[in-house]
Amino acid sequence: MKKNILFYCLFLISQTSSTAQIWTNYTTSNGLVYNKVKTIVIDKHGKKWIGTLGGVSEFDDINWTTFKTTDGLAGNYVNVIDIDSLGNKWFGTNGNSGLSEFNDTTWTTYTTANGLAQNNVFAIAIDSLGNKWFGTPNGVSKFDGTNWTTYNITDGLTNNNVISIAIDKQGSKWFGTVGGGVSKFDGTNWTKYSTINVLSNDTVYSIAIDQQGNKWFGTKGGVNKFNDTTWIRYNTDSGLVSNTVQAIAIDSNGIIWFGTPDGVSRFNGHSWTTYSTAIGLVNNNVTSIAIDKQGSLWFGTIGGVSKLSDLNGITEVEKTASYITLYPNPAQNIIYIDLAELGDIIRIYDINGKLISDEKIFNNKIDITNLEKGFYILKIIDKNFVSTKKFVKN
């Protein structure tokens, strides 16, 4: 287990619909164990668990911790991670290595010798009873903590190669397969969906379920939405950046985010927005998406991790303080701050996220004479909020 400390990261500012957004990119230069990322999950403490082709990175927004086979991980090529209600982490690996469980102290490995259907695990989901469901190339394994049960095509699964799983509010399991479409299992009956009737493509990389119970399927041929009655198809003609959809996440506002090999697509139910390296994404090949409690999005790519957050939050405690204003902006020598209080902390960062100054307010003006011309971010830190403002030095 190796630890690194992140001193600062790259901030890239984009302007979309008049809302400033901040991109923060993380790679091996910051502490990430390997740049090719397969999966990201976030635990109840806000820690990010990042599965890569070279091990696992845990990130608490300051420190990085690395886990590899030398620490107890079954295999360094990690396809998928999930976390159960007790906080135990489950790691599905590749390379015929099996499955790992980590309770923050002890590692346990499970393989076919224990009852796992196959030692390459591509998908994990955990139901309301705590049962773990594992998708493998040889069917699905259910583990109740003691007993293993395997389901395959002889039971009703449409295809044994299961690469995505989601569980709806009724407890039904939805399995996405390679070449076989989708299987729904309600605990008794199996229902199959494929290109023969509804799906855009029979390879289903990702599944997500929104608050209304709509199922979203990311396939090799676009996105399908299913409300249990009607199917709707979306593809590049609709506004999707690519028809190969590797990841889906749904934020608290019901916005759907799709990760593809050509960038990220955001869909609000009416219009589409594309995010790519041109505006801050570290790499366009997006394999996973996670959303933290502050609403920031974390994108796992084959070139590292990108975090996207709005201007109202560089850190977890930041909130918009619209009543605080800076003037003039742009400025040459002095910037004045309205309604900031004496004793507030002022921090100035350059466009690369490097801290330029860190001091307390003793009056309502800041001397920027010594700053080079360019774009800067100013943070006003109070005991009740952190306000982030932009300014330009002429």
Whether 185 and 156 have beta carbons less than 8 Å apart is answered as yes
Regarding whether 342 and 194 lie in a shared domain, the answer is no
Separation of alpha carbons 249 and 238, rounded Å: 19
Q: Are residues 143 and 28 in the same domain?
A: yes
Q: Which residue has the tokens 């959809």?
A: 245
For 242, the token pair is 């690519």
CA distance 258 to 224: 12
Rama region for 304: left / alpha / beta (φ>0; ψ in -120 to 50; rest): left
Give the integer Cα–Cα distance in Å for 22 and 204: 31
Residue 356 has a pLDDT of: 84
| Domain final residue pick, 281, 310, 339 | 310
- Collect all residues with Cβ–Cβ distance below 8 Å to 300 and sequence separation of at least 6: 37, 38, 39, 40, 50, 247, 259, 286, 287, 288, 289, 290
Residue 300 shares a structural domain with residue 336: no
What type of residue sits at position 213? G
Listed residues 265, 282, 310: the one ending a domain: 310
* Alpha-carbon gap, residue 38 to 299, rounded angstroms: 10
How high is the pLDDT of residue 315?
35
Question: 320: which 2 tokens?
Answer: 């918009």
Domain count, the chain: 2
Point out which residues pair with 355 in neighbouring strands. 349
pLDDT of residue 154: 97
Q: What per-residue confidence (pLDDT) applies to 386?
A: 66
What is the DSSP-derived secondary structure letter of residue 145?
Answer: S
CA dist 361 and 190 (Å) reads 65
Q: Are 225 and 194 contained in the same domain? A: yes
pLDDT at 362: 76
> In sequence order, what are the beta bridge partners of 287?
none
DSSP character string of 268-325: -SS-EEEE-GGGT-S-S-EEEEEE-TT--EEEEETTEEEEEEETT-SSTT----TT-E
**Of 98, 104, 100, 187, which Cα lies nearest the Cα of 151?**
187
SS3 of 185, please? Answer: strand
Quote the Cα angle for 146-151-154, to 5°. 145
- Considering the domain architecture, whether residues 168 and 203 belong to the same structural domain is answered as yes
CA atoms within 13 A of residue 196's CA, in its CB half-sphere: 8
Mark 57-88 as b/e (b = at least 16 C-beta within 10 Å). bbbeeeebbbbbeeeebbbbbbbbbbbbeeeb
- Global pTM value: 0.79
Query: Is 316 part of any domain?
Result: no
**Do both 78 and 113 map to the same domain?**
yes
- pLDDT at residue 320 in the model: 40
Residues 276, 344, single domain; the answer is no
By residue count, the chain amounts to: 394
Q: Which domain CATH number covers 46?
A: 2.130.10.10
Give me the pLDDT at residue 11, please: 45
Mode of pairing for the β-strands spanning 190-193 and 204-209: unpaired
Please check whether residues 297 and 338 belong to one and the same domain: no
- The range of the structural domain enclosing residue 182 comes to 2-310
How much is the pLDDT for 55?
Answer: 98
- Residue 26 and residue 90 in one domain: yes
Nearest one of 306, 273, 308 to 294, comparing CA atoms: 308
- Are 260 and 287 in contact, with CB atoms under 8 Å apart? no
Q: Running along the chain, 394 residues long, what does each successive block of 10 average in pLDDT? A: 46 44 90 98 97 98 96 98 98 97 98 98 98 98 98 98 98 98 98 95 98 97 97 97 98 96 96 92 97 94 93 37 73 82 76 76 86 86 70 89
Does residue 318 sit within a domain?
no
Mode of pairing for the β-strands spanning 272-275 and 162-167: unpaired
How high is the pLDDT of residue 347?
84
Q: With H, G, I as helix, E, B as strand and everything else as coil, classify residue 352.
A: coil
Locate tokens 């039904």: which residue?
Answer: 172
pLDDT of residue 339: 60
Residue of 272, 259, 262, 240 whose CA lies nearest to 300: 259
Which residue among 310, 345, 376 closes a domain? 310
Maximum alpha-carbon separation in the chain:
76
